[in-house]
Each structure stands twice: as structure tokens, then as C-alpha cells.
Amino acid sequence: MKQIIYTKDAPEPVGPYSQAVLAGNTLYCSGQIAIDPATGQLIQGDITAQTHLCMKNVQNVLEAAKMSLSNVVKVSCFLKEMADFAEFNGVYAQYFTDSKPARSCVAVKELPKGALVEIEVIALREDN
């Protein structure tokens, strides 16, 4: 069973994809960049500000699927500059305190709209 997840509290997709897809008990969230859902514009902040907004956008998509960060089992992080890794990690650690998911973090040449960071997650809904 497949269900498309959508919320106005996260940015509209910038391409032909869904914010997230729930397949069985597994939620596959598309990558989130630091787009303000209210304006549809990428914020102009540094890596710290952009990471905070990415995480808030991820949280809002998870909430639309009746999940939270504690349901996340895998995170993929994409940084425009690996030099931002320490600052990124500092913000990331504020969101995943007790339940730390598996994670990948890589530097990429470019991200949509000139973003500094993109974060995607896979979450697992616990059986009721």
C-alpha cells in the first residue's frame, strides 16, 4: 500500500516528486532544502540557519505522516562544502539526541536553488 504524504507546512516540491511516500510502515521523505514554506524562497542564511530550516521542514513532513524524528532510521545529508561539516553536525545533533539514526553525509558540487545543505530521511512507523 502506497500513500502520498503532503503538508502545507513544508515547501512545495521544486520538481515532479512528492514530499514523502508512505509504503507500508516505511516513510521515504524527499530531500529538504532551506525553503521557507510561507514564501517558497530559499533563505539566505549560513549553514547553521539553513540546517535548522531543513530539519524543521523534515519534522513537518514527518508530522504529516503521524511520525517524528524518533521514527527516523536513516538520514542522507548533502553539503555544498565539506568545510561546513562541523557546523552542520552541531545543528544536526540538536535534533537527534537520544535516537540516533544511521547516516551518510557527502559533499556535492551543487544543490537545487543554490542551497548549502539538503537532508532526506527514511522513517519507520512502529506497529500499533
Q: DSSP letter at 8?
A: T
Residue 79: domain span: 2-124
Give the number of other Cβ atoms within 10 Å of residue 42's Cβ.
20
Burial class, 96, CB count within 10 angstroms (exposed 0-12 / middle 13-18 / buried 19+) = middle
Read off the CATH number of the domain in which 35 is found. 3.30.1330.40
Residue 128 pLDDT greater than 80, yes or no: no
Sheet with strand 102-107: strands edge to edge? 2-5, 20-23, 26-29, 117-124, 72-79, 102-107
User: How much is the average pLDDT of 9-20?
Assistant: 94
* Whole-prediction pTM: 0.94
**CA–CA distance, 30 with 65 (Å, rounded to integer):** 13
Which amino acid would we find at residue 112? P
Q: Which residues are the active-site residues? A: 105
Quick: pLDDT tens for 29-49: 999 999 999 999 999 999 999
Which of the four pLDDT bands, split at 50, 70 and 90, describes residue 119?
very high
Counted domains in the chain: 1
Quick: pLDDT tens for 47-85: 999 999 999 999 999 999 999 999 999 999 999 999 999
Helix runs in the chain, H state only: 47-64, 85-95
